[in-house]
Amino acid sequence: MEFIDLKQQYQNIKPQVLKRIENVLDHGKYIMGPEVNELEGALSRFCDVTHAVTCSSGTDALLMILMAMDIGPNDAVFVPAFTFPATPEVVALLGAHPVFVDVDKETCNISPSALEDSILKTKAEGLNPKLIMAVDLYGLPADYDALALIAEKYDIKLISDAAQSFGGVYKGKKVGQVAIATATSFFPAKPLGCYGDGGAVLTDSDELAKKLKSIRVHGKGRNKYENIRVGLNARMDTIQAAVLIEKLKIFPREIELRNKVAKKYSARLTNVTKVPEVPLDSLSVWAQYTVHLQSEHERSHVQDVLSESHIPSVVYYPEILPNQKAYIKYVLPKQRFENSIHLAKTVLSLPMHPYLSDNDINHICKVLQGVLIEEFSQ
């Protein structure tokens, strides 16, 4: 059994994907070939946004947004304490200050009340609160309405790190529509992945899209030898775009299948552990199916038993970012990350992909029920 099975999916779409890749090899436009444009059109239609600007990775998508917004020294960018390191990394790369914010212990996403407290703290430190970067952890959109109210109150902008949630829905709106700019990733293991690195920014702003397209090709102006700003080499390869065009076609069906898997897990596990819940009117794309165990001790016992039964499981993430060597210096005085610390000790992600069989789900749930009931009665 695999944690994320990409080979099964490939078997289902092999002829189409190979044909697309062969087309690229035949026309030879390996960089910014016609497939890049075609994919951008398909992505923007999928999310119902005006612009999809593809790029080389989810990390570069985040970096490009920050560069387009002129984030720099002394600017505070609010990020969850419990996320993947790329989120604060791009802030620090630009010389700005990532300000960590505790997360909600139910949704694992940035906590609106902790956010407000952090904004007040940055003002006391002489930083300029500029931007909130919400993360849709495990594929579940953050609470954008609550965040937008705070953003408005303090006159700061709200963007989205949707690397794990492309295809998700928040209160009836697709991911991509709920922030002024949304970054996503097409890393192979993400819900929509290519066969290498890739990413995109989604936005309704013409002005932002124009800047992003310039930044991704060395800050180009009318052509690449006119440089009007400092930029990056952050283009998506044509071959990756070709792969994604085909994978996007089956993605709506895959989102349904992922939700079916999650439902089956939850129905079986809700009596023995804390299962993830999706708020009304939202849709998760289940980048991970993550249960919350009671303690670090219980989690490591559960992981051992799973692994003896050849069931892979992963901890996303075992350490909060404010405690990491690279980021500890950004922690402001008297900041606390209680929920994040608790989650880092207790979360456990189970195998999740659209093609996980009923047999496998039954086996995983049986083993988990066994170990947790036994644990319970001790």
Q: How far is the CB of 272 from ligand PLP (least distance, A)?
A: 28
Q: Which member of 44, 83, 118, 238 binds ligand PLP (CB under 6 A)?
A: 83
Cβ distance 52 to 43 under 8 Å? yes
Q: How far is the CB of 316 from ligand PLP (least distance, A)?
A: 8
Cβ distance 120 to 354 under 8 Å? no
Longest dimension (CA), the chain: 71
Q: CA distances (Å), 252 to each of 50, 175, 257, 292, 348, in order? A: 20, 14, 9, 28, 26
SS3 334: coil
Write the DSSP symbol of residue 283: B
Number of residues that bind ligand PLP (CB under 6 A): 15
For ligand PLP, give the closer residue by CB, 44 or 57.
Answer: 57
* C-alpha to C-alpha distance for 280 and 308, rounded to whole angstroms: 37
Q: How far is the CB of 236 from ligand PLP (least distance, A)?
A: 11
Site string for ligand PLP, 149-168 (x = CB under 6 A): ------------x-xx----
For ligand PLP, give the closer residue by CB, 87 or 273.
Answer: 87
Does the protein bind ligand PLP through residue 293 (CB under 6 A)? no
For ligand PLP, give the closer residue by CB, 188 or 312.
Answer: 188
Does the protein bind ligand PLP through residue 340 (CB under 6 A)? no
Does the protein bind ligand PLP through residue 87 (CB under 6 A)? yes
Q: How far is the CB of 94 from ligand PLP (least distance, A)?
A: 16
Q: Which member of 84, 286, 327, 330 binds ligand PLP (CB under 6 A)?
A: 84
> Hey, what are 349's tokens?
């992600």
Strand partners of residue 161: 135, 183
Q: CA distances (Å), 210 to each of 47, 68, 191, 205, in order? A: 19, 9, 27, 9
Q: How far is the CB of 304 from ligand PLP (least distance, A)?
A: 26
Looking only at residues 167 through 226 of this chain, which bind ligand PLP when binding is defined by CB under 6 A?
A: 185, 187, 197, 199
> How many residues are given for the chain?
378
For ligand PLP, give the closer residue by CB, 54 or 273.
Answer: 54
Does the protein bind ligand PLP through residue 288 (CB under 6 A)? no
Residue 96 makes CB contacts below 8 A (sequence gap 6+) with 66, 71, 72, 73, 74, 75, 76, 77, 130
* C-alpha to C-alpha distance for 157 and 230, rounded to whole angstroms: 22
Q: Which member of 44, 57, 160, 214 binds ligand PLP (CB under 6 A)?
A: 57
Tell me the DSSP string of 224-245: TTSB-S---B-PPBHHHHHHHH
Binding part of the chain for ligand PLP, among 51-59, 167-175, 218-226, 273-281 by CB under 6 A, reads: 51-59
Radius of gyration of the chain (CA): 21
For ligand PLP, give the closer residue by CB, 121 or 190.
Answer: 190
Q: How far is the CB of 185 from ligand PLP (least distance, A)?
A: 3
Query: Which residues in this chain contact ligand PLP in the complex, by CB under 6 A?
Result: 57-59, 83-84, 86-87, 135, 161, 163-164, 185, 187, 197, 199
